[in-house]
Amino acid sequence: MAQSSDELIKREISDKVGRSHSDLTLRVFPSSSNQDQKLFREGGLTFGVDGVAYGSCDAAWSTSGTWTDSFDRKRYAPRPVLAIEGTNALNTGSGGNAQYQRFHHALGAVRNGIVGVYYLRKGTQKIRPELHGMAVSASSIEGTPYVVTDDLTLVKNLLQNFDNPENFESLIQESTELSQNIFQNYFDSRFGDWGTFAKKRSTVLHEGTAIKHAGRMKRNFTDGSQRAGHIAVGEMYLTKYLFSGYRIDYLWPRMSAGDLIDLDNRKSTDKEWALLRNEPGIRIVTRDDVIGLEDSIKDELYGMRDEPLKGAFMSNYSRIALAIQHGLENGEYAIELDTP
């Protein structure tokens, strides 16, 4: 029987990185286990901040001593020092935004002062350059290294040099510079300026705010067969870290304020929804928050509120989304400032 992607990644981590380095000990669970979904202090592989849990990691190395868990600001032992989230996405045709979907898993560790690694196993696709840019920005903003790599040798070297600050920092610096160069070369060759890049990312830059718009519908978050939560979270963090100098409004025109209230009630225990609704500096806004938006457009958006964006619905939504983008750019529309 063929290995699952999860099993493959975890076995690679164990075999290629190693179970122990000096006094560091590996924590990893079989793919059949749900133990990783528990907080690290409870024996799992999940980290969180201020009561909000992020996605679980695949493995972590820890040492003796205590650390302060940002989930509840209390001290626990043992002390995690590096956590890794892996994916086989590069071998499953994921050349686009699917690669961003698991970025937040290792981010939970980074926001706890723990080195975070997002490992994308080499395959037929390449790592999206934006991921490298996100990691560099996250490292700078959060004050703890976030590493994006397809090379487990780097992870092994980091662990082997964890007690050698000079070598460890040199490895981190080399990784950061590589990621920065990959993103910068991509940015310069494809876009050249942030305004052009923003338009390609369905984002409006206006008076210190980056307005990212997407065709999310309520059913994306209530239908278990869809992974809109992971996709939406990935796009949120891409926008936050690549447009780090801006306040972020995440606009979902196909949804209403009432839809958000309903989802707040129905998704109160959902990790991805909690991240979307509690991320500092991020507002989720809907068509009800777009000042100046004509009733005729609102009616059209309401009519496609539950429809997959295919065929005529895709064409109509693309037309409306472009009109909203232009309206926000030229000041015809604005986002309500007092959105809760």
131 and 22 inside one domain: yes
* Spatial separation of the C-alpha atoms in residues 320 and 153, rounded to whole Å: 48
Q: Give the count of domains, the chain.
A: 2
**How far is the C-alpha of 15 from the C-alpha of 194, rounded, in Å?**
42
DSSP of 94-128, one letter per residue?
--SGGGGTTHHHHHHHHTTT-EEEEEE---SS---
Among 129, 152, 187, give the residue marking a domain's end.
187
pLDDT tops 80 at residue 224: no
- Torsion 135-66-52-285 (CA) sign: negative
Q: How far apart are CA 318 and CA 334, in angstroms?
A: 19
Same domain (yes/no): 138, 228? no
Report pLDDT for 340: 46
Q: How confident is the model at residue 22 (pLDDT cuts 50, 70, 90)?
A: confident
Measured CA to CA, the distance from residue 216 to residue 285 in angstroms comes to: 11
**What rounded mean pLDDT belongs to the chain?**
94
pLDDT of residue 142: 98
Quick one: 163 and 218 in the same domain? no
User: Within a domain: residue 52?
Assistant: yes
**Confidence tier at 80 by pLDDT (50, 70, 90):** very high
Does the residue 340 lie in any domain? no
Are 34 and 56 a contacting pair, CB within 8 Å? no
Place 227 in a pLDDT band, splitting at 50, 70 and 90. low
* Percent of the chain topping pLDDT 70: 97
Residue after which a domain boundary falls, among 157, 187, 217: 187
Residue whose token pair is 């060759």: 189
List alpha helices for the chain, DSSP H.
5-12, 103-110, 129-142, 152-160, 165-190, 194-200, 218-222, 228-242, 257-266, 271-278, 295-303, 311-330
CA distances from 35 to 39, 42, 50 (A): 9, 9, 21
Is the same domain home to 28 and 52? yes
Per residue in 291-317, pLDDT (tens digit) is 999 999 999 999 999 999 999 999 999
For residues 30 and 79, membership in a common domain is answered with: yes
339 against 334, higher pLDDT: 334
Residues 167 and 278 reside in one and the same domain: no
Give the whole-angstrom CA distance, residue 13 versus residue 238: 26
Q: What is the pLDDT of residues 236-277, one digit of tens each?
A: 999 999 999 999 999 999 999 999 999 999 999 999 999 999
Instruction: State pLDDT tens for residues 152-208.
Output: 999 999 999 999 999 999 999 999 999 999 999 999 999 999 999 999 999 999 999
Q: Are 28 and 170 part of one and the same domain?
A: yes
Is 145 in the same domain as 242?
no
Q: What's the confidence (pLDDT) of residue 130? A: 97
Q: Assess whether pLDDT exceeds 80 at residue 94.
A: no
pLDDT > 90: percent of the chain: 88
pLDDT of the residue at 137: 98
Residues 55 and 139 in one domain: yes
Q: Do 173 and 225 share a structural domain?
A: no
Q: Report yes or no: 241 and 137 within 8 Å, Cβ to Cβ.
A: yes
What is the rounded average pLDDT of the residues 8-21?
89
Is the predicted pLDDT of residue 1 greater than 80, yes or no? no
Average pLDDT over residues 74-85: 98
- Backbone φ and ψ for 289, nearest 5 degrees, come out as -100, 0
Domain holding 34, by residue range, is 5-187
Considering only 58-62, 103-107, 160-164, 229-233, which range has the smallest mean pLDDT? 229-233
Boundary (domain end) residue, out of 187, 221, 250: 187
> According to the model, what pLDDT value does residue 98 have?
85
pLDDT tier at 3, thresholds 50, 70, 90: low
72 and 215 housed in the same domain: no
Asked, for residue 97, whether it belongs to a domain, the answer is yes
274 shares its domain with 158: no
